[in-house]
Structure 1
Amino acid sequence: MIASLARDLRFASGLYRTLARVRGIHPASPRRICDDLEASVRGWRDREALRFEGRSLTYGEMDALANRFARWALEAGLKPGDRVALFLPNRIEYLPAWYGLSKVGVVSALINNQLTGQALAHCLTLAGAHEVIVDAETSRALQDVLGDLEHTPRLWSLDAPLPGEGDLAADLAGRSADPPPAAIREGLKAGDTALLIYTSGTTGLPKAARVTHVRVQLYMRGFAGATGAGPDDRIYVALPLYHATGGLCGMGAALLNGACVVLRAKFSATQFWEDIRREGCTQFVYIGELCRYLANQPPHPDERSHQLRLAFGNGLRPDVWDKVTGRFGVPRVLEFYGSTEGNVSMFNFDGRAGAIGRIPRPLKQRFNARIVRFDYESEAPLRGADGYCTEADAGEAGECLGRIDSADPRAEFTGYLDSTASEKKVLRNVFAPGDAWFRTGDLLRQDADGYVYFVDRVGDTFRWKGENVSTAEVALRLQAVPGVIEANVYGVAVPGADGRAGMAALVTNGDFDIGILAARIAADLPEYARPAFLRLQPEMAVTGTFKQRKVDLVEEGFDPGRVTGPLFHRAADGGYRPLDPAAHEGIIHGRIRI
């Protein structure tokens, strides 16, 4: 009873802090995210705000740089609602750039700096930007796709410009650091678009989510409250700033609390602990795979000699959670659930290992999220004879839906630039005639205490031998096998077979033994969930936010003519045999059963 009470108090305290910080956010409000940041500048002008690889900006210097970006935009003839694309890696100017542009109502499109070719051209076309800001790292990739764009934007470089690019660094240096004229803000509201943030593109080309000032405020203010950060905190951000977790959650936790952001160009598992110790960091923001990379590293002399008191982020799987708190000695993990474009958010304030959040039953009506029964055949929520959905029972996996309510900023759904893509995410007449709910595309389950756990993505769970196979759960089992560093599980079509057969792409080290793997699979997984095919590869293809890409793996299937690296199929005795062209033909024509 005492433990339960302490748990509930921790949850209530975290929820209260978070709700208190987001109170007053409303689409009709004239207060936008730039106003929130300017309030921080007034409160902590001389304190360090941003630190990046030897460079540092105080809150006042950050604001001055933002003002120069604002004045550059005005001189370029940009008006409220116009768009500028930031095609940049993490660097100290990143947040001041979009912060400054927001002061004059200009929308920043945050482009993944790792994109090239078709994907890059697609994102720039969606943005419809008048100007694109690049640097030495991204300039060449942009130059390569200019011919594929419908309209050629003006290019500006923060480093030495290439021919055809403006020298933005010199331009900014010559501009006034005074705030832009206040009259420009007249009529601008929190419901206006602040940013375009793109989906990760794990299953195809990215979609551009329209992120209003309301959404940015919910992220930044929310995490300012949820983390309990203060002016003495130093928050380590090695995630890409074009993504909401690092660029909004991490930045908001620090910059709306007077804390310092210790920013890195990119995550390095080998340098992480040295950075944390040297910079005196007290918190860091993660995506689950970042922590897995750390856990897969050999012991580091600094991995416990740190001042960390909190790790916060999303996607931390149960098998790694205990290593963060145990091996690394991080006292507290704050896991959350949400998506850039979605209207569902949850926090695991009281630290139940593996849970992505909690919805206590007495507070259920305060949350807009519901988990409904799911039809795996149609990959859609299951409807009863009356045409309506029903909530899943405790312990039962179902799709999470978020009630859409334009009157509640936390429940609104602003969608994508593509209205067709937006409509595909809306489910209507769910519990009552005329209601509308956002489809998260995530299968979750909730236990009797209200804790919510991630099961899989809709589409990743597949049917084989009449059973539903969760790729996430199979991957979890495979990653527990000695020598398996990473596992990416997916389903592939087999001619003549119903459903999809399981396949796993593995990254392994010298401890890997395929015989031991086969034995562990046979012991730990039911027959239908055991991968029919394996492929070994030196590294896993991931997005810039460490999400595993599956689309190319599914397309290549188990064809040895398309798959590079060792390829295996599961034999009748449960062992794995090399899959050569002859074996491939045998499987295709049914001579070899899987």
Structure 2
Amino acid sequence: MASKRDKILIGAAGTVGAGILSWRMFFPWIGYDLTMMKHGSKAGKLILRDNETGRYLIKMFEEAVEKHPKKAFVIFEDRVYSYEFMNEQANKVANIAAKWGLKVGECVAIMIENEPSFIWTFLGLQKLGIAVAFINFHIRGQPLIHTIKACEAKVLIIGSDDKIFHSVDEVRSEIGHIPIYAEGGDRGAGYESWDKLMFAALPVPVCPSVRQEMGFSTPCCYIFTSGTTGLPKPAIITQAKGVGISKFFQLFDFMPSDILYTCTPLYHSAAGGLGLMNTLDQGSTMILKRKFSAHQYFADIRKYNVTVMQYIGELCRYLLTVPPNPLDGKHKVRVAVGNGLRADIWENFKERYNIPNICEFFGATEGTIALMNLSNRVGSCGRYSPLINRMDPTPKLLVKVEIDTGDVIRDKNGHCIPVKVGEPGLLLGAIPFYYQDMQFYKGGKEINEKKILRNVLKEGDAYFNFGDMLTMDSDYFVYFKDRIGDTFRWKGENVATYEVSNVLTKLNVIHDANVYGVEIPGSEGRAGMAAIHLEDNVTITPQILKDIFHHAKENLPSYARPLFLRFPKEQAVTTTLKQQKTQLRKEGFQPQDIDDPLYYYDEQNKTYSPLTVDTYGQFLTKSKL
């Protein structure tokens, strides 16, 4: 809630003659706002312009083809794919798809690895106004069946990788009678060779009039949620939202001369959304990697003269495990943009790799708002000032929430309660009136209504619920705290897993700590457990266990200290390098069910002691939980 001083500033914002110097005297954080307002205003004007003129993603691409046909659009495995060549391939796709008789907005699903054919297939279908579902090529079985059915795909196009073919072939009889086109040669009965069709197709352009019914609300693509709390849901990226995504990098002045490095999956919103769509908008160049490699990452950065690098999740932590190289800071990167860079390694990463500007952001594929830190504030993912919020058509809100249930706390009038500086709050994003009849996900009303909070500050308003907890400092920078469901209560106190992880990894022998809560029979709440990965040259020894014990005891309150440690052989992360907690929570701490070394917090012996089938009962009795 805005303080009296903040309200004065908001009122002064329109006062003629109010000087910036005098503002900064009373409101030292105003400079941060001016930076955000300058870049945000530019992006907003461009979004409005493109939506009014119908300059959607496919138009952006065709403009770039006309403007500089020979320029590198994609560089992949040392091969340069020019805008002209990519357009010819996209034209072939369009000419093939034109024979299917699909209407504007109907869906074709593609399940292709990170390679240029993903991009030209997407663009070719866009030439006809066909929506494209980006299918995670790692999934199989029931999630794959659900995903194809959920987007109501009329056609499926799969890549050349044998694993993709086998995943689809396993469920072929259960995904309906839709045509399946396969790259990689003849796949036998039930599959048409996409390669043969592409070889025979003409690269001549289709007339833009075939997509004349395409408008701002027409689906452009479907990007699926991770499915960590259920089966994946198809988030709807309309043509208008695609335009909005394509301007996000304008917050740090992304330009045609920029070279972007992308190594996360194109089916995800970081690469296929932000990376690809901003490249299309500016007619820039994308360095596309088939998959992330920590050892190749900065070698590629130098080799291709990359100026903007994308990161996500634990990617930066992996990069810090690579042995130091005298060339680490020798490159042309001006911005690293992404989300998930934890505060405990922020400065180390920035200093070692000589990154001038880190633009950490916060958002969700289906969300109505996004945040970005343009000021290099360590650990921050954006701004939440009263001035910006007052001027924003989709204001943000941090409100009090009940940790155990995830329900918002309401006052006597039934409205949500904004948090104060330093208090954790659930992030909400306003849903503008013109958006309220639209859907976040393809599906029924129920699946969309779950993400909406109504009557938040007044009767009739509506906000998108991100399901994430953030905090705000006195300069109105915001920081990710935890996800609802990850934060847990123990001994009557709330434990933020993200914060505990940051504390544990400050011990130099710990590479990563994935913290979560587990249920203990007969105890209220959930006890803390940490899946620990030590540095490469470190092994589990009695001294290491004592060091972790003392580090936890000295730096964490008693209720937040992990009661259990687990040392998995491999890190549990998603395909987009985010920590995966769901399966670990299910497995709990029962030694008979877990092959990994287990330990418990042993106050008596001042260490973490082995938790085995033999000591399990003794532990429960001795701990008096």
Same fold (TM over 0.5): yes
1:538-575 CA-to-partner distances (Å, cap 9, x unmatched) read 22122111112111111110011221210111123342
The secondary structure found in structure 1 opposite 2:279 is helix
Aligned to 1:353: 378
Matches within 5 A, 1:419-438: 419-438=445-464
Contact 2:313–2:579 (Cα < 8 Å) also in 1: no
Of the structure 1 ranges 415-424 and 558-567, higher mean CA displacement relative to structure 2 is found in: 415-424
Task: Give, in whole Å, the separation in 2 of the partners of 1:184 and 1:585.
Answer: 71
Matches within 5 A, 1:93-492: 93-137=117-161, 138-149=164-175, 151-164=176-189, 165-223=191-249, 225-367=250-392, 368-407=395-434, 414-492=440-518
- Deviation, 1:160, is 2.1
Distance 1:193 1:345, change over 3 A: same
% identical aligned pairs: 33
- Structure 1 counterpart of 2:408, one-letter code: P
- Structure 2 counterpart of 1:108, one-letter code: V
Distance 1:370 1:547, change over 3 A: same
Of the structure 1 ranges 193-202 and 9-18, higher mean CA displacement relative to structure 2 is found in: 9-18
The secondary structure found in structure 1 opposite 2:324 is coil
- Deviation, 1:61, is 1.7
Paired residue for 2:83, among 46, 54, 59?
A: 59
- Deviation, 1:29, is 6.7
The secondary structure found in structure 2 opposite 1:380 is coil
- Deviation, 1:318, is 1.4
Task: Give, in whole Å, the separation in 2 of the partners of 1:288 and 1:322.
Answer: 16
Task: Give, in whole Å, the separation in 2 of the partners of 1:168 and 1:413.
Answer: 33
Task: Give, in whole Å, the separation in 2 of the partners of 1:412 and 1:523.
Answer: 50
Q: How many residues align?
A: 589
Of the structure 1 ranges 128-137 and 369-378, higher mean CA displacement relative to structure 2 is found in: 128-137
Contact 1:479–1:485 (Cα < 8 Å) also in 2: yes
Of the structure 1 ranges 182-191 and 91-100, higher mean CA displacement relative to structure 2 is found in: 182-191
Paired residue for 2:111, among 67, 80, 87?
A: 87
- Structure 1 counterpart of 2:125, one-letter code: L
- Deviation, 1:351, is 1.9
- Structure 2 counterpart of 1:355, one-letter code: S
How high is the TM-score relative to the length of structure 1? 0.94
Task: Give, in whole Å, the separation in 2 of the partners of 1:531 and 1:167.
Answer: 54
The secondary structure found in structure 2 opposite 1:93 is helix
Aligned to 1:535: 566
Task: Give, in whole Å, the separation in 2 of the partners of 1:408 and 1:78.
Answer: 27
Which ranges in structure 1 are unaligned for 5 or more consecutive residues? Answer: none
How high is the TM-score relative to the length of structure 2? 0.90
Tell me, yes or no, if structure 1 residue 20 matches structure 2 residue 45: yes
Task: Give, in whole Å, the separation in 1 of the partners of 2:33 and 2:450.
Answer: 37
Aligned to 1:503: 529
- Deviation, 1:162, is 1.6
Task: Give, in whole Å, the separation in 2 of the partners of 1:518 and 1:306.
Answer: 40
Which ranges in structure 2 are unaligned for 5 or more consecutive residues? Answer: 1-23
The secondary structure found in structure 2 opposite 1:395 is coil
Contact 2:259–2:286 (Cα < 8 Å) also in 1: yes
- Deviation, 1:188, is 1.7
Task: Give, in whole Å, the separation in 1 of the partners of 2:587 and 2:29.
Answer: 50
- Structure 1 counterpart of 2:380, one-letter code: A
Task: Give, in whole Å, the separation in 1 of the partners of 2:409 and 2:593.
Answer: 37
- Deviation, 1:581, is 1.4
Of the structure 1 ranges 57-66 and 1-10, higher mean CA displacement relative to structure 2 is found in: 1-10
Query: In angstroms, what is the RMSD of aligned CA positions?
Result: 2.1
The secondary structure found in structure 2 opposite 1:35 is helix
1:138-182 CA-to-partner distances (Å, cap 9, x unmatched) read 112211222333x14322222223213222122123222222233
- Structure 2 counterpart of 1:104, one-letter code: L
Tell me, yes or no, if structure 1 residue 519 matches structure 2 residue 546: no
Contact 1:533–1:558 (Cα < 8 Å) also in 2: yes
Task: Give, in whole Å, the separation in 2 of the partners of 1:475 and 1:50.
Answer: 37
- Structure 2 counterpart of 1:220, one-letter code: S
The secondary structure found in structure 2 opposite 1:421 is helix
Task: Give, in whole Å, the separation in 2 of the partners of 1:61 and 1:455.
Answer: 45
Task: Give, in whole Å, the separation in 2 of the partners of 1:528 and 1:592.
Answer: 14
Matches within 5 A, 1:67-78: 67-78=91-102
- Structure 2 counterpart of 1:310, one-letter code: V
- Structure 2 counterpart of 1:420, one-letter code: E
Distance 1:58 1:227, change over 3 A: farther
- Structure 2 counterpart of 1:155, one-letter code: I
Contact 2:591–2:612 (Cα < 8 Å) also in 1: yes
Contact 1:404–1:413 (Cα < 8 Å) also in 2: no
- Deviation, 1:217, is 1.2
Aligned to 1:547: 578
Contact 1:201–1:543 (Cα < 8 Å) also in 2: no
1:383-440 CA-to-partner distances (Å, cap 9, x unmatched) read 112211111111111101111114269x975334343221111111111112111110
- Structure 2 counterpart of 1:369, one-letter code: K
Task: Give, in whole Å, the separation in 1 of the partners of 2:461 and 2:31.
Answer: 37
- Deviation, 1:183, is 2.8
Task: Give, in whole Å, the separation in 1 of the partners of 2:79 and 2:147.
Answer: 30
